[in-house]
Amino acid sequence: MPHYRSVFISDVHLGTPDCQADYLLDFLDNIHCDTLYLVGDIVDLIAMQRRVHFTKSHEAVVHRLLVIAANGTRVVYVPGNHDEFMRRFCGQTISGVELHQKIIHTTADGRRFMVCHGDQFDQVVRCSPLMLLVGDRAHGLLLRLNRWFNAWRRLQGKPYWSLAAWLKGRIGKARTFIRRFELAALTAAEKGNYDGFICGHIHSAGFLRSQEGLYCNDGDWVEHCTALVENADGKLELLHWSEQPSIIATEPSAPAPEVSGDRRPVIDILPAAFLEQVNRI
């Protein structure tokens, strides 16, 4: 059973039919870590106002998280926009789970990362979250297609594969939004004198390194079933967890050519007040 120094998961969206709770439960049952970060949108309180879909597997995930906290793992909950209600409890510890608006994580090799959900950047990239970018109804249709498609794959004995993520990856505006989001997070990390930024929110796991910082997105458990993990030496990896768990990315050692030097795209200047808000602990 693999042991990690830190594990970061977000965008679970418990309470919705699209949550991949069974895969997440299998992941939690088969890894150990010193610190587990829940980086927002763990429970989808917004969707649950319209319809509650909280199955036994969803209950099992909540129970497993509480057991992990009770057994000595540090569990840190950084609420997002879909579980924003929990932000009123930041600064408290509930059932062994610490709640923070944002928090600094120091890796084993001494790097300092700001950890927050990421919805703070919506105002900067001037776009709604990716789910709203493609339209609530269109995105809902994509997720329903994803459920039906993977139900058919299971009948064929095939592993999980995200049709929704594949389709969205071919939407130009979605790709543009993701890159602007990544650059905004990188800029906030650099101007806040951090070594990087760890977040979720946009349901797109990945790394982006610049000359001065590292952007990390842990993805989601609706479409991609991904987690960001820190090994004992401080190095970061992205895992995909379904029938065939695998490492899908390791942190890059060199800056991405498209954001290096003069080739870095110009994005809106981040307002000083916004930087102060994001970087304040």
At 8 the three-state DSSP class reads: strand
Say if residues 177 and 125 touch (Cβ distance below 8 Å): yes
Q: What is the pTM of this model?
A: 0.83
Name the amino acid, one letter, at 134. V
**pLDDT, tens digit (0-9, with 9 covering 90-100), for 215-239:** 999 999 998 899 999 999 999 999 9
| Percent residues over pLDDT 70 in the chain | 76
User: Is 251 exposed, middle or buried, given 0-12, 13-18 or 19+ CB atoms closer than 10 A?
Assistant: middle
Asked whether the predicted pLDDT for residue 18 surpasses 90, the reply is: no
Mean pLDDT of 121-126: 64
Q: How high is the pLDDT of residue 260?
A: 66
- Report CA 60 to chain centroid distance, whole Å: 20
Place of tokens 């991609």: 224
Record the tokens describing residue 259, joined without a space: 């954001």
| Res. 160 pLDDT band, cuts 50 70 90 | confident
Report how far residue 7's alpha carbon sits from residue 171's, in angstroms, rounded to the nearest whole number: 30
Say if residues 224 and 195 touch (Cβ distance below 8 Å): no
Report how far residue 230's alpha carbon sits from residue 218's, in angstroms, rounded to the nearest whole number: 11
Report how far residue 108's alpha carbon sits from residue 105's, in angstroms, rounded to the nearest whole number: 10
Say if residues 16 and 47 touch (Cβ distance below 8 Å): yes
**What ranges in the chain are assigned the alpha helix state H?**
21-29, 45-50, 56-70, 122-125, 130-133, 136-155, 163-168, 172-191, 272-279
At 241 the three-state DSSP class reads: coil
Say if residues 182 and 208 touch (Cβ distance below 8 Å): yes
| Res. 133 pLDDT band, cuts 50 70 90 | very low
